[in-house]
Amino acid sequence: MNFPFSAIVGQEEMKRALLMAAVDPTIGGVLVFGDRGTGKSTAVRALAALLPEMEVVEGCRYHCDPADRDRSCSEACSARLGREELKISRISVPVVDLPLGATEDRIIGALDIEKALTLGEKSFEPGLLARANRGFLYIDEVNLLEDHLVDLLLDVAATGENVVEREGLSIRHPARFVLVGSGNPEEGELRPQLLDRFGLSVEVTTPKSIDERIEVIKRRDAFERNAQEFSARFAEDEAGNRQKIEKARAIRSHIMVSDSVLGKAAELCLALGTDGLRGELTLIRAARALAALEGCRELGVLHLQEVAASALRHRLRRDPLEEAGSTARIERALEEVFR
């Protein structure tokens, strides 16, 4: 049983980023970097319980969306779509763990060895990327992931499609997922290409206030002693958070974004010298997701300011002689732009 999301003490930026990613998958995932023992992986694993259900084509191994013909898998769905009535079922949004030590064949999928050995049949056994389609892919200790696996992920994340060419198989299937990674920066840096893949990046530290620390330990202790009882205590909060996500998803696309807010976002990115459009786009999307979570009808400047650090801190060009961290640089830029 997972520790409930709503019971996590403090760490507001991390919780907010995860909720925003749940509201809008196009934000591009979340990277959580920080100290040991700050509940990084607890929070990500807890998110699964908050995610609403989604409609899938029944029996499809890639959980294709019955309403989205363009992205359905070639295996069965696109052939059947339109021609016959598809059965639809509902499943909870998958949160797939990519554990360390996972091998390439299990990630992208491979020849089904059992069938090959027993029946002499050549069939494809989907991997983790298939399972994560339309859901979340979580990599703990993402900075320790082997390079060849990172390359694989980068390719799939860029195209939204997994192409398997091995052992005489030639398969392609949709693989769109929200990438969530966590790690401790002291154990190594992340490859810049992978860093760039993450929409939001948050830094977590051990809480500074004693009261907060006490609460963390009390809750953790209570959970370890009786997980069921503890989770029941937070059931209502969990339901509240789930509803908040569902509502935000519904209103997200109706939120008004004024030109002046767009202008401010551009100005901010310019001031920080972030490369490319991706930063700006993520900034707007994240701010909109936040506005949706708060139930607002219009995107405000405050929303921008609140998400700026998460959306931009990993996109700043490194200046090793700059003493202040990237968060401080963003704060400075925020002050300049929103004075």
Partner 1 sequence: MRDPSDGSVGPAEFDAEQAWDDALMAAALLAVDPKALGGVVVRSGAGPVRDLWLTACRAIFPNSVPFVRMPAQIGPERVLGGLDLAATLRHGRPVHQAGLLSQADGGVVVMPMAERLTAATIALMAAALDQGEVAIERDGISARSKARFGLIAFDESVSEAECISPAIGDRLAFHIDLVAVPLRCAQSRRGPNAATIAAARRLASGFESQSGEEDLIAGLIGASIALGIESLRVPLLALWAARAAAALRGETSIEHDDLQLAARLVLAPRATRFPEMPQDESDGRDQPQDRHEPQGPLQSDSHEHENSDDTSTKRDAAFEDVLLEAAAAALPRDLLAQLAQAASQSPRTSRSNGQSGPARRTRKRGRPIGVGRGELGSGDRLAIVDTLRAAAPWQRLRKAVKSSPIEDAEQAGQRRFSVRPDDFRFRRYAQRSESLNIFVVDASGSTALHRLGEAKGAVELLLADSYVRRDSVALIALRGRQAELVLPPTRALTRAKRSLAGLPGGGGTPLASGIDQAIGLALAARRRDQQPTIIILTDGAANVARDGGTGRRTGEDDALVAGRHVRSFHLSALLIDTGPRPSPFASRLAAEMNGRYFALPMADAKALSNIVKRASADA
Q: Which residues are catalytic?
A: 278
Q: For residue 37, state whether it binds partner 1 (rule: CB under 8 A).
A: yes
In this chain, which of 12, 26, 35, 258 binds partner 1, going by CB under 8 A? 35
Q: Does residue number 216 form part of the binding site for partner 1 (CB under 8 A)?
A: yes
Query: CB-wise, 36 or 339, nearer to partner 1?
Result: 36
Size of the site for partner 1 (CB under 8 A): 62
Residue from the set 67, 88, 100, 239 that interacts with partner 1 by CB under 8 A: 100
* Cβ proximity to partner 1, 41 vs 78, nearer residue: 41
Q: What is the 3-state secondary structure (H, E, C) of the chain?
A: CCCCHHHCCCCHHHHHHHHHHHHCHHHCCEEEEECCCCCHHHHHHHHHHHCCEEEEECCCCCCCCCCCCCCCCCCCHHHHCCCCCCCEEEEECCEEECCCCCCHHHHHCEECHHHHHHCCCCCEECCHHHHCCCEEEEEECHHHCCHHHHHHHHHHHHHCEEEEEECCEEEEEECCEEEEEEECHHHCCCCHHHHHHCCEEEEECCCCCHHHHHHHHHHHHHHHHCHHHHHHHCHHHHHHHHHHHHHHHHHHHHCECCHHHHHHHHHHHHHHCCCCCHHHHHHHHHHHHHHHHCCCCECCHHHHHHHHHHHHHHHCCCCCCCCCCHHHHHHHHHHHHCC
Span interacting with partner 1, options 50-58, 188-196, 243-251, 300-308, rule CB under 8 A:
188-196
The residue range among 16-24, 81-89, 108-116, 265-273 that interacts with partner 1, by the rule CB under 8 A, is 108-116
Considering only CA atoms, which of 38, 49, 21 is closest in space to residue 307? 21
- Residue 146, interface with partner 1 (CB under 8 A)? yes
Please state the closest distance from residue 31 (CB atom) to partner 1, in A. 14
User: Does 318 engage in binding with partner 1 (CB under 8 A)?
Assistant: yes
Of the candidate residues 53, 58, 68, 114, the single one contacting partner 1 (CB under 8 A): 114
14 binds partner 1 (CB under 8 A): no
Interaction of residue 167 with partner 1, rule CB under 8 A: yes
Note whether 195 binds partner 1 by CB under 8 A: no
- Which residues, at least 6 apart from 296, have a Cβ–Cβ distance to it below 8 Å? 255, 303
Q: How far is the CB of 140 from partner 1 (least distance, A)?
A: 6
Residue among 83, 148, 254, 339 that touches partner 1 (CB under 8 A): 148
The smaller minimum CB distance to partner 1, of residues 160 and 192, is found at 192
164 with 171: CB under 8 angstroms? yes
Map the footprint of partner 1 across residues 218-247, applying CB under 8 A. 218, 220-222, 224-225
* Residues found near partner 1 in the complex (CB under 8 A): 35-38, 41, 97-107, 110-114, 116-118, 120, 122, 125, 127-128, 140-141, 144, 146-148, 167-168, 184-189, 191-192, 206-207, 210, 213-214, 216-218, 220-222, 224-225, 318-321
